[in-house]
Amino acid sequence: MNLEQLDNIVKRVARRTGLDDYELFLTFGTSLNCRIENWEITVQLKKDIFSGSLRVIKNRRMGFVPFTEPSPGVLELGIKIALNMAPAAPFDSFAVIPDRLKTPPAFDPEIVRLLDNPSRIKTLAQELIKRAFDTGKITTLEGMIQVNREIKLISTFNSPVPAIAERTAFSAFAEVNTQDFDFVAGRKLPDLEKVAALGASVARALPGTETTPEAEGIKGKIVPVVLHPSFTEEMIRQLVAEHVYASTVQDGMSQYHLNELVMSPLITAGDDATIPFGESTFPVDDEGTPARKNLVVENGVLKMFLYDRTTASRENVQSTGNGRRRPVLIEEEHEAPVRCTINDIFIIPGTTPLTEIIKKIDYGVLIKVLLGFHTANRTTGDFANTLYFGRIIRNGELAELPQAGRWAIKGNALNALRNVKTISRETLSTGSAILPWLQTELTVA
C-alpha cells in the first residue's frame, strides 16, 4: 500500500469537504510471530495490516475519525459525522512539518531479510527450545520470537511533505518454569546467538530453592530493593510520568513542581525520540512536532514538564514532541487520543557495578516484575502488588526465589525514586528505555 498516495487522496477529500486543516496518522505493516510452548512452535502472521486516523478542523471545531479501510467514501462519511458534533478545537491549525527533517535510523534490512525468510526464524526458535531443554532444568518453557516491518506516515494539510519512515522491530523472550524470564527487544537485529541462548541462560541461573516472607520474618518491614530496568520502566510509564505531563499539571493533580527536588539527587533522566533504533524513534511525534530529546530531571531537580500541542497552546509555549496516541485502556493506537506521552526513557547510569550494589545488601529483594502493576494508583503513585519475578538478596548475593503468591511489595513510586541510594554503572535496553538498576527501599507487605 502506498501511504503517500493515500495522503494525496485525503488531501482531495479535505478540499472537497472544505476542511480548514487535517492531521493524518497511517501505519501499514506485517509481523511474523513464532510462539513457543515447550517443544511446540506455532507460526502466526499479521499481514498487510492497515490503520489510519484523521483529526480534522473546520470552523474551529475538531473531529476525530479512526479507520481501518482506506476508502475515500468511508473517509468522507466519517469526516462529515465527526464534524457534526465536534468539540471546540484547542488550536487553530495543525503543525506544519518541516521538509528537511533529520530521520534517525529505525530500519534494519537484516530484519527484513529475516521476515522474508521465515525458516530462519523457525530454526532460531528450535535452537532456543533445544538449548533450554538441554539444561535439564526446564519444567515449562514459554517464549516468542517476533519480527516486524512497518511504514508510518504523519501528515498535515499544510505540510510540504509528510513525515514518513519505514521501521523494523525484533523481539524475543523466554520464560522458564514461570519463575524467571529474559528478553531482547529493539529495532535492530540483535546477536542471534544471544536469542538462541535465552531460555538456557535463564534456566541455568535459576536457584533451586524458594522462600516465604513468613519464613524470613520480614512481613511489614522496609527492606533495600534493587529495581530491575524492566520494572523501573513500568513504574515510570504507569505512575511517575503522569506527574510530568503538562496535562496533569494543568488539571492541578501533579505532585511535582518545577525546579524542585522530585527525585534522588543521583537521578538525571528524560525522554528521547531520536535514539537510533529506539522504539519511539520517528522524525516527528504523532502531531507533527519534530522529535527531540528532553532532559526532564537533572540531579533530582525537575527541569521541565512534557507537552503536546494541546497543553502547549494553553500556556502559549511549544510542544516538547510528546503528543502521542496513547490508549486509555484497550483502544488500538489509531483509535487512541493524542495526549502527553513519554517517549523512550533514559536515566544516566551511575558508577557502581551492579555486583557491588548487591554485595553491600545484607538482606533485600531484587524486583523484576510485580503482578498486576497496571492496577496501581496513578493519582498518588501508591502500589501494593504481588512479587512475580524477583530474587531474594542475602549476604550480598542473589539467593532464593520468592515463593509464588506469597510475597507482596508495597510503596509509592514517587517516593521510591526520591529514595534511590545507588545507581548501577550498567544499563539495559528494554527496547523503549535505556535504564540502569536502581537501589531504593520498599515494604514487604
Partner 1 sequence: MTFIIGIYTYGMPPQIENETQVKNVMNQALRYARQRVEYADLLYEKIVRIEIQQLPDRLLQKPFNIKARVQLRLLEQGKKVEIKVGTLNPDSLKDAIDTGVRLLKLSPTPPQPVRLAPIPNPEKIRYGTAAPRLLPAGAIFTSLLKDINKIARVLERKNPGMEIKPEFWFFSQREEKAIADSTGVFKTQVMPRTFLQLVTRVKGLGGKMTQTRARLGNPLPYSFIVRKIKNTYHLTPEAARHIRSWMEKTVELQKAITLNAEEIKSLTHFVLHFTTLGVFVHEALGHNFEADIVKAGSSGIIDQEGYPRGIVAAENVNILDGPLPGKPRDGFGTEFIDDEGVEVKTKLLAENGVIKGMIHNRETAAYFNAEPNGGAFSELGDQRIPRMSNTFVQPATRKNWFRTLDKLISDIPKGLILEGTSGGAVSKDGMSSSVLIGYLIENGRITRTVQPANFSAQTLHALRYVEGFAGPVRIDDVGFCGKGQTKYVGDGGPVWTRIRNNEFVNLSIQG
Binders of partner 1 among 400-439, rule CB under 8 A?
403-406, 408, 410
How far apart, in Å, do the first and last CA atoms of the chain sit?
A: 53
Stretch of 155-163, 231-239, 246-254, 263-271 lying at the interface with partner 1 (CB under 8 A) = 246-254
Using CB under 8 A, which residues numbered 316 to 375 contact partner 1? 328-330, 332, 335, 337, 339, 370-375
Q: Which of residues 196-235 bind partner 1 (CB under 8 A)?
A: 214, 219-220
E strands present in 180-221: 180-186, 210-211
Applying CB under 8 A, the span of 14-22, 248-256, 262-270, 353-361 interacting with partner 1 comes to: 248-256
Strands 210-211 and 401-402: parallel
**Nearest CA among 85, 17, 92 for reference residue 59:** 92
Q: Which residues in the 122-151 window bind partner 1 by CB under 8 A?
A: 122, 126, 139-140, 142
Q: Which of 6, 57, 86, 291 binds partner 1 (CB under 8 A)?
A: 86
Residue number, 89 or 423, with CB nearest to partner 1:
89
Q: How far apart are CA 403 and CA 212, in angstroms?
A: 6
Q: Does 78 bind partner 1 (CB under 8 A)?
A: yes
Contact 275, 104 (CB under 8 A): yes
The beta strand positions in 217-292, using DSSP E, are 222-227, 269-272
C-alpha atoms less than 13 angstroms from C-alpha of 426 in its C-beta half-sphere: 11
Nearest distance in Å: CB 74, partner 1: 7
Residue 313 binds to partner 1 (criterion: CB under 8 A): no
CB of 43 to partner 1, least distance (A): 5
Min separation Cβ 61 and partner 1, Å? 10
Footprint (CB under 8 A) of partner 1, residues 4-33: none
Cα–Cα distance measured from residue 24 to residue 142, given in angstroms and rounded to the nearest whole number: 38
Binding segment toward partner 1, per CB under 8 A, in 166-174, 222-230, 343-351, 385-393: 385-393
The C-alpha atoms of residue 235 and residue 8 are separated, in whole angstroms, by 41
User: Looking at beta carbons only, is 66 or 278 nearer to partner 1?
Assistant: 66
Neighbours of 5 (CB within 10 A): 10
Q: Which of 64, 91, 133, 363 binds partner 1 (CB under 8 A)?
A: 64
Among positions 25, 346, 383, 437, the unique one binding partner 1 when judged by CB under 8 A: 383
43 near partner 1 (CB under 8 A): yes
8 A C-beta contact, residue 291 and residue 281:
yes
In the bound state with partner 1, the residue whose beta carbon lies nearer, of 40 and 191, is 40
From the CB of 256, what's the least distance to partner 1, in Å? 13
299 lies in the site for partner 1, by CB under 8 A: no
Nearer to partner 1, 116 or 356 (CB): 116
Task: Out of 11, 90, 91, 303, point to the residue binding partner 1 (CB under 8 A).
Answer: 90
Q: Residue 48 interacts with partner 1 (CB under 8 A)?
A: yes
Sign of the C-alpha dihedral computed for residues 207, 208, 210 and 215 taken in this order: negative
* H-helix segments, 279-403: 309-315, 354-359
One-letter-per-residue 3-state SS of 333-367: HHHCCEEECCCEEEECCCCECHHHHHHCCCEEEEE
Among 59, 68, 299, 318, binds partner 1 (CB under 8 A): 68
- Judged by CB under 8 A, the residue of 38, 135, 201, 432 near partner 1 is 38
Burial class for 156, CB neighbours closer than 10 Å (0-12, 13-18, 19+) = buried
**85 in contact with partner 1 (CB under 8 A):** yes
Instruction: Specify whether the CB–CB gap between 367 and 228 falls below 8 A.
Output: yes
311 lies in the site for partner 1, by CB under 8 A: yes
Question: What's the closest the beta carbon of residue 445 comes to partner 1, in angstroms?
Answer: 3
Q: What residues between 258 and 297 interact with partner 1 by CB under 8 A?
A: none
| Segment contacting partner 1 by CB under 8 A, of 17-25, 38-46, 155-163, 432-440 | 38-46
Distances from the Cα of 86 to the Cα of 58, 62, 79, angstroms: 9, 5, 10
CB contact at 8 A, 294 and 102? no
Closer of 324 and 339 to partner 1 (Cβ)? 339
